[in-house]
Chain A
Amino acid sequence: MGFDIQAELPKLLWLGIGVAAFLAVIGLLLVIVDRGPRCRRDWWQAACFLTPAGVLLVVGLLYPVVRTTVLSVRDRGGTAWVGLDNYAWMLTQPEILLVLRNTLLWVLFAPLLATAIGLAYAVLVDRSRYEAVAKSMLFMPMAISFVGASIIWKFVYTYRPAGTDQIGLLNQVVVWLGGEPRQWLLDQPLNTLLLIVVLIWIQAGFAMVVQSAAIKAVPDDIIEAARIDGVNAWQQFWRVTLPMIWPTVAVVLITISVQTLKVFDIVRTMTGGQFHTSVIANEMYNQAFRYGELGRGSALAVVLFVLVIPLVLVQIANTRRTREAR
């Protein structure tokens, strides 16, 4: 496992070439922009800067969307037209209905709880003495990958038979309280909720940081005016602070909702979708890449895509409204 600098050199060389290529492309782009025609210069500039991004978007997003949609109405090999069979299969197969139900559970609980916990935390530590420390504690999990977090929480939920030493934190606590250790990840729907906890653990920090910034942006004068108008701490929050930071809360809710819809790593790492915990993204992966059901997998992907669209639209409308309000 020694680190042999000699053996790594080619990689470093490639890295250097990559960076140089990147700089060369940017430089070339700037030169082209500069050399452009004198008239309609704004169009020329827009074209130069938007084209690379546009090309990447088409190649990386638009084409796959079209291709996936086409595949979703074909058979498992992606060759024969089957109409809406794959979608019909999805809505009739009990396992897949369960997957849809699980995804619904995720979307119902994770964004709401993560946002609420983040908000409550932001309000409670606001202007307290150890605010910075307290906030970084909650924010830290953001730095961990979903897979890493899942492994940590898998240990938390680990089961050892009663009478033996528990290595899982949760079971140890249960034992301390005089209970029997249990297999947390086996029983549905509890297991799905326990997986949701992991996502909340990761996302609450993000929710807290963003909402804390919004709370701090509420002018002191308005808070003081409210105090003189007669609010107590509770009314202060519900009638002044929350309505004023609502656009931010909405952004956080939607961002986490999109994250939640796409959740894959946590389920894959902790249960692999077994014990009735699978979600759309995991099922899509299984169908398309493990069972070789390209059509069904694509259909699931399309459903996921369609579910995300309204959230994105709300997000855009929200951003536009906030901008107009200013």
Chain B
Amino acid sequence: MASIRLAGVSKVYPDRTAAVSELALDITEGEFLVLVGPSGCGKTTALRMIAGLEEISSGTLTIGDRVVNRVPARDRDVAMVFQSYALYPHLTVRDNIAFGLQLRKMPKAEIAKRVEQAAETLGLTEHLDRRPRNLSGGQRQRVAMGRAIVRKPHAFLMDEPLSNLDAKLRVQMRAEISRIQRDLGVTTVYVTHDQVEAMTLGDRVAVLKKGVLQQVAPPQELYDRPTNIFVAGFIGSPSMNLLQARLEADTGTTGARLRLGEQTLAVPAALLAERPRLRDYIGHDVAVGIRPEDMEDAELVDTPDDSALTSTTDLVEALGSEILLHFQLDAPPVVTEDTKELARDVGADHLDAASRKSDIIARCSPRSRTKSGDPLRVRVDTTRLYFFDPETGAGIWGDPSSAYQHKEESHA
């Protein structure tokens, strides 16, 4: 067990493309840190640099209290779980798990004991004498885990370990990884594309975009106070609705009004008090974020006029426990470099800066009776609106001394 510290770690390839730029992370002993981001964001490269599989171009990497920039992978005492599991096909499960210990010339009795123990933990005892090719995907995954845990390493490094499993098994293994990590208390760095994994597993989650760290924070904070549009759009599913709006002074109250095309929403005075910097944007454009789960069919809840939006239902997706309502609003979508990157990640290229309309998704109670084509009135929880600077994409929150503000947010 050890802490891992990355100080200004960069990876620049010979063709001068930068995979990771100035990455700074402090991973404390026993912490479970998740690196998340769209494909090509440098998360795997960062992990491989920690593992020693990729050379560090600049910066300092410290594991425990040893700078390991120049230490080969085999001497870093870290264990890695690969996406492909990377089991040795010519060895039995037992030898696969024991391989690292045998290389370290550990006494045979001790190896046997540790392997039995690991097999016990992972439910592999009856498979110890089989070869990897005769195992199912889930079992191979467990063997890969077993190979990591017997070593009792300083740190576990996991590169999308669950992405080759089917959905059900993935949920099960996710819980298992979480349990094992907590039982052993080993510092873990976990790379994933899947934000559900990121949110459920991580003590803290680091969001990367194009090799640059955007925010590192506990999952709930990442969700509640994203540091910029990119993090806001990446975390949450379905993702946050992002619209161009205008903040106007409300002469009647101490609050403000948010103009979305022809419609307006009241911005409560309490919200303005909590985020005083918002006052600077009164009379200006802002990017506003509304989470799908912060909306509800107005038929089902008491809805004051100044927190309702009207439109026409385009599509109803019933998921049993909830329904997703698709509709359009007369407000242009936010088109910044961040939202383009997000659109690219989900494979959508229809982000159109000239459009006057935005597609909105609301996550409502299944008791809603609306059908596609019906007029729709949606209640918006205006206390939970997200605001971003339309130019920089930075989140507009309270002043930096606010108790909730995490120190890493200063990266924005």
Report which A residues bind B (CB closer than 8 A).
219, 221-222, 224-232, 235, 239-240, 243-244, 246, 325
Of B77-85, B283-291, B293-301, B322-330, which stretch is located at the interface? B77-85
Pairs across A and B, CB under 8 Å, 7 listed: A224-B86, A225-B147, A227-B72, A229-B74, A231-B74, A231-B103, A239-B103
Any A CB within 8 A of the CB of B52 = yes
B: residues with CB less than 8 A from A are: 51-53, 72-76, 78-80, 82-84, 86-91, 99-100, 103-104, 133, 147, 151
Residue from B51, B82, B91 with most neighbouring chain A CB atoms (10 Å): B82
- For A227, the chain B residues whose CB sits under 8 A away are 52-53, 72-74
Tell me if B100 and A230 are in contact (CB < 8 A): yes
Q: Chain B residues with Cβ under 8 A from A229's Cβ?
A: 74, 99-100, 103, 147, 151
Least CB separation from B53: chain A residue = A224
Known: A219-B86, A221-B84, A325-B133. A228 touches B51 (CB 8 A): yes
CB–CB B100/A246 < 8 A = no
In the complex, chain A residues whose CB is within 8 Å of the CB of B147: 225, 229
Closest to B104 in A: A230
**B53, B86, B100: which has the most chain A beta carbons within 10 Å?**
B86
Residue numbers in A under 8 Å from B52 (CB-CB): 227-228
CA distance A320 to B232 in the complex (A): 55
Bound form: Cα–Cα A221–B87 in Å: 9
Which residue of A230, A232, A243, A244 has the most chain B CB atoms within 10 A of its CB atom? A230
Bound-complex Cα distance A243 to B90 (A): 7
Interface residues of B, dominant DSSP: loop
- Give the docked Cα–Cα distance between A246 and B88 (Å): 13
State the Cβ distance, A317 to closest chain B Cβ, in Å: 18
Taking a contact as CB atoms under 8 Å apart, the answer to whether B73 and A235 are in contact is no
Complex Cα–Cα for A246 and B89 (A): 12
Other-chain contact of B88, A222, A232, A235, A325 (Cβ < 8 Å): A222
Of B74, B84, B87, the residue contacting A228 (CB under 8 A) is B74
Chain B residues with CB under 8 Å of A235's CB are 103
Q: Which of B82, B91, B103 contacts A221 (CB 8 A)?
A: B82
Complex Cα distance A203/B51, Å?
41
Query: Across the two chains, which residue of chain B brings its CB closest to A324?
Result: B133
**Whose C-beta in chain B lies nearest to the C-beta of A244?**
B90
New contact pairs (9) apart from A222-B87, A244-B90, CB-CB < 8 Å? A219-B86, A222-B89, A224-B51, A224-B73, A225-B82, A228-B73, A228-B78, A228-B80, A239-B103
Contacts of A231 in B (CB 8 A): 74, 103
Q: Do B90 and A246 touch (CB < 8 A)?
A: yes
CA distance A214 to B403 in the complex (A): 59
Q: Tell me, in angstroms, the Cα distance from A227 to B87 when the chains sit together.
A: 13
- Say how far B213's CB is from chain A's closest CB, in angstroms: 24
Residue of A nearest to B103 (CB): A230
Q: Known contacts A222-B86, A244-B89: does B53 contact A228 (CB below 8 Å)?
A: yes
Distance between Cα atoms of A239 and B53 in the complex (Å): 19
Given A228-B51, A228-B73, A228-B80, A221-B86 contact (CB < 8 Å): yes
Residues on A with C-beta less than 8 A from B86 are 219, 221-222, 224-225
A151 to B388, CA, bound (A): 82
In the assembled complex, which residues on chain B have CB atoms less than 8 Å from the CB atom of A221?
82-84, 86
The minimal Cβ–Cβ distance linking B375 to chain A, given in whole angstroms, is 55
User: Closest approach, in angstroms, between the C-beta of B208 and any C-beta of chain A?
Assistant: 21
B159 closest partner in A (C-beta): A221
Contact across chains for A224 and B100 when beta carbons are under 8 A apart:
no
Q: Is the CB of A224 within 8 A of B82?
A: yes
> Which residues of chain A are within 8 angstroms of B88 by Cβ–Cβ distance?
222, 225-226, 240, 243-244
- Expressed in whole angstroms, the Cα–Cα distance for A235 and B102 within the complex equals 11
State A287–B89 Cα separation when bound (angstroms). 51
Chain A positions within 8 Å of B133 at CB level = 325
**Cα-based distance from A325 to B90 in the complex (angstroms):** 10
> A residues within 8 A CB of B51?
224, 228
- CB-based closest 7 A-B pairs: A221-B86, A229-B100, A225-B86, A230-B74, A243-B90, A230-B103, A227-B73
Residue of A nearest to B89 (CB): A244
In the complex, how many angstroms separate the beta carbon of B133 from the nearest chain A beta carbon?
7
Residue of A nearest to B133 (CB): A325
Give Cα A232–Cα B73 distance, bound, in whole angstroms: 10
How far, in whole Å, are A243 and B80 apart by their CA atoms in the complex? 22
Contact check: which of B72, B74, B84, B104 meets A219 at CB < 8 Å?
B84
Q: How many Å lie between the Cα of A244 and that of B100 in the bound state?
A: 17
Q: Which of A222, A232, A246, A325 contacts B74 (CB 8 A)?
A: A232
B residues within 8 A CB of A232?
74
| Chain A residue nearest to B100 in the complex (CB) | A229
Q: Please tell me if the beta carbons of B103 and A228 are within 8 angstroms of each other in the complex.
A: no
Min distance, Cβ A109 to any Cβ of chain B, angstroms:
28
In the complex, chain A residues whose CB is within 8 Å of the CB of B104: 230
B residues near A240, Cβ cutoff 8 Å = 88
Beyond A219-B84, A221-B84, A235-B103, is A228–B79 a contact (Cβ under 8 Å)?
yes
Q: What residues of B have a CB within 8 angstroms of the CB of A228 in the complex?
A: 51-53, 73-74, 76, 78-80, 100
Report the bound CA distance from A244 to B86 in whole Å.
Answer: 13
In angstroms, how far is the closest chain A Cβ from the Cβ of B187?
15
Please measure, in the bound complex, the distance between the C-alpha atom of A9 and the C-alpha atom of B147, giving whole angstroms.
72
Q: How far is the CA of A243 from the CA of B104 in the complex (A)?
A: 20
B79: nearest residue on chain A (CB-CB)?
A228
A226 CA to B72 CA in the complex, in Å?
12
Chain B residues within 8 Å of A239, by CB:
99, 103
Q: Report the bound CA distance from A138 to B399 in whole Å.
A: 70
Tell me, rounded to whole Å, the shortest Cβ–Cβ distance linking A248 to chain B: 13
The residue on B at minimum CB distance from A242 is: B90
Residues of A within 8 A of B87 (CB): 222, 225
Contacting residues, chain A, for B103 (C-beta < 8 A): 229-231, 235, 239
Closest to A326 in B: B133
Taken together as a complex, chains A and B put the C-alpha atoms of A222 and B100 apart, in Å, by 13
Residues of B within 8 A of A246 (CB): 90
Q: How far is the CA of A230 from the CA of B82 in the complex (A)?
A: 16
Residues of A within 8 A of B82 (CB): 221, 224-225
Complex Cα–Cα for A267 and B74 (A): 50
Q: Nearest residue in B to A221 (C-beta to C-beta)?
A: B86
Q: Which residues of A contact B90 (CB under 8 A)?
A: 243-244, 246
How far is A99 from B86 in the complex, measured between Cα atoms in Å?
50
Closest beta carbon of chain B to A238's beta carbon, Å: 11
Question: Measured between alpha carbons, how far is A83 from B99 in the docked complex, in Å?
Answer: 59
Residues of A within 8 A of B72 (CB): 227
